[in-house]
Amino acid sequence: MLYRDRFEAGQVLAAKLAAYRDWPNVTVFGLARGGVPVAFEVAQALHTPFDVFIVRKLGFPGQEELAMGAVATGDVLVLNDDVVQSLRVPERLIQSAAQEEMKELKRRETLYRGGRPAPQIEGRTVILVDDGLATGTSMRAAIQALRKQNPQRIIVAVPVGASDTCAALRSEVDDLICAATPEDFVAVGVWYDDFAPTSDEQVQTLLDEAALLRDTENSHSFSSHY
C-alpha cells in the first residue's frame, strides 16, 4: 500500500507538481469520479482553479472492467484496439455501449456543475489528474477531448501507474508525472488502503468547496487593492 486514500495521494502528487505552483492560466481537472479527490488536493496546493472532466469507460459485456474503449466530453470516442481486435467486438456493440455511456456522461456534467459553466480551456495549461493509470484508455479519451479545445499545454499527473502505460502516454502530452510505477502493479486499487468508490455527492461537495474557496480568494484579492 502506497496511500491511505485519494486525498493523501493528491497531497503526495502535488509535491511532484510544485513547479506549477502559482503559474498563470493553469486549471487542474480531475477525471470523474476517482480522480476528483486527488485533483482537489493538487489544485489547493498549486493555487489553481479546479474542475471535473468526465470520461466513461466502455466495458465489455460480462467483463465490465475490461475496457473496449471510452467516451469523453465533446462526443469523443476512443477505442482500445487490442481488446476490440482480440475479442472481435462488433461495431454495433461498440456504438450501443457508447450511446449509453454518453447519456450518463451528460447527466453527470449537469449534476456536478449545478449550473456553473464549463471552464475555459483554450490557451490554458491543463493538468489532468486521475487516481492511477492502468490501461490508460480513459486518460487517452480525456486527452483527445481536451485537444479539441486548444489548450496551450496538457500535463497528465497520477499518484501511481503501470510503467508501460505511463511510458506510452508520455509522448502524447507535454508533461507526465507518474509519482510511482511499481514493478508488481496489478491494479490501481492495490496501492490504496481506502479505495472505496467516489460518489456523485462527494464530487459535488468538492467542486462546491473549491468554487467557494476561489470566490473567497478572489474577494480578498479584490479588497486588498482598495
Task: State pLDDT tens for residues 46-80.
Answer: 999 999 999 888 888 877 767 788 888 777 888 88
> Domain-by-domain residue ranges, the chain?
6-54+120-223
Q: How confident is the model at residue 221 (pLDDT cuts 50, 70, 90)?
A: very low
Phi then psi dihedrals of residue 58, to 5 deg: -95, 100
Phi then psi dihedrals of residue 81, to 5 deg: -55, -35
Q: Which residues pair with 78 in a beta bridge?
A: 70
Q: In whole angstroms, how far apart are CA 159 and each of 34, 39, 52, 111, 183?
A: 12, 10, 17, 27, 15
Which are the contacts of 224, defined by CB distance < 8 A and separation ≥ 6? none
Tell me the pTM.
0.84
* pLDDT the model gives residue 10: 98
Locate 86 and state its grid cell.
482480440
Cα 157 → chain centroid:
9
Contact call for residues 20 and 125 (beta carbons, < 8 A): yes
**Pick among 3.40.50.1970, 3.40.190.10, 3.90.79.10, 3.40.50.2020: CATH of 6-54+120-223:** 3.40.50.2020
Mean pLDDT computed over 177-199: 95
